[in-house]
Structure 1
Amino acid sequence: MPELTGIEAAAERLLDAAKTRVPCAPVRDLLPDAAATTAYAVQSMLTRHRSDRGGRIVGRKIGLTSPAVQQQLGVDQPDFGVLFDDMAVPAGTAVDTAQLLQPRIEAEIALVLGSDLDGPHIDLASVREAVAGMVPALEIVDSRIAGWDISFPDTVADNASSGMFVLGGTQLDFAGADLREVEMTMVDGQGRTVSSGSGAACLGDPLNALLWLARTCYELGMPLRSGEIVLSGALGPMVPVSAGMSFSATLSGLGTVTAEFSGNAGGAT
């Protein structure tokens, strides 16, 4: 059998962690360089593997939208991952932590596209025009890498540390809303505030994040399509999750979204 390339070995390591539910060592040392294109090559290999087994792509998620997190990881850009249909948790359905490894939760604005974002001249005006709807969302981020010991190549390769997501029940028309003004408060099951922030915390404006995503996806040959969901980035700090917990996030002007967690997993580390 021919020896695996670094990209193939990284994909195999992450696949094994997802299958066994045992977090793995970082993959950065397997990769020939720390370039974003190399890390996305691993992610693309994992995306094809999932698609070949029946997974249906429903959108993207944007990560690393906080300047503080970018500084922590030594990067100057966001990253993105792919959302599959089986990652969506219907509102009112408990999230099974047994399907996750090291879950954490964060509140975001989900944007629903009404038209494609495809072409070399995507700008903020075309992005604004493409958004049809918005809805409050909770993203359950997860890492296949032990102890969240991640660098930029690690999280990109690992589908931007994606897990699951929950959308609020009512999608609102976008109609040129100013997402910078959205205020978010997330509370736990005891009503304690565990995270807060605003739309301005997401690259200054969640539409800036969507613009970056649209341009990047076009350059990578996988443009955004009408009907896709985009989780535009965290509005506040992420919070560790374990079975038995619940969270509710209220986003001003958008509504409230809630997630409950069941299962036997030990929770985040």
Structure 2
Amino acid sequence: MGQAILDEEERERYSRQTMLPAWGEEGQLRLKRSVVFVAGLGGLGGPVCLYLAAAGVGTLILCDDGLVEISNLNRQLLYDEADLGKPKTAAAARKLRGLNPRTETVERRVRLREGSVAGIASDADILVDCLDNYQARQVLNAHAVRAGLPLLHGGVLGAGGQFAFLFPPLTPCLHCIFPDDAAERSAPLPAVGPAAGMVASVQALAALRYLVFGEPTMPNLFWRTDGWNPQAEALEIQRDERCPVCGRIS
């Protein structure tokens, strides 16, 4: 990851993206040096990891405490029936190494908690929220604000999904949009596979754009889409100056 140039195999592997004039070899080297923390390895996290590994991200920190279950397989395309009962982190790391052995995978089979997140995500350049748990999302959001890191939020419900690039003080934080009194749904939520893939693709593109070009994707907008009627809307979002998480940042 510390190499100053790409070798010939890397040049060939990534040639279809480095031919973009603004990307080039320098952009690919930035990806090679980057570290991405992916929280949640389900319907969103799996495709995000696949795209980022394929693109040549240097290190992926894989965080999930779950096991692969048969109900996952309608949308979690990183796994197959041979993975049932295995830790998602281990199954994901094995698949990603097969896709691109040059991407280092770091397994973190833990549940995100206030006291542990800083230690397991300390080396990251960007955080990707692929979680399905409100409390864990808020823990990750608080860490993103404290560490001064961008958070790429994604969510899926049925055939629809949502995305936001969150990076205070440029944008609101997740708590500004979904405060603590938001209703937490504990029951499993419906999710259609292609909807997860659609949102994950947006998250992966946003991660690549930030890591290669240093640019945010749709800052101060909350992107929503309905997969049954393919259309999207971008709603303006604003910081809450009284937000207990990011309100003091300027």
Question: Fold-level match, TM-score > 0.5?
Answer: no
Give the structure, 1 or 2, with the largest relative contact order (CA under 8 Å, sep 6 or more): 1
TM-score (norm 1): 0.24
Larger helix proportion of the pair: 2
Larger strand proportion of the pair: 1
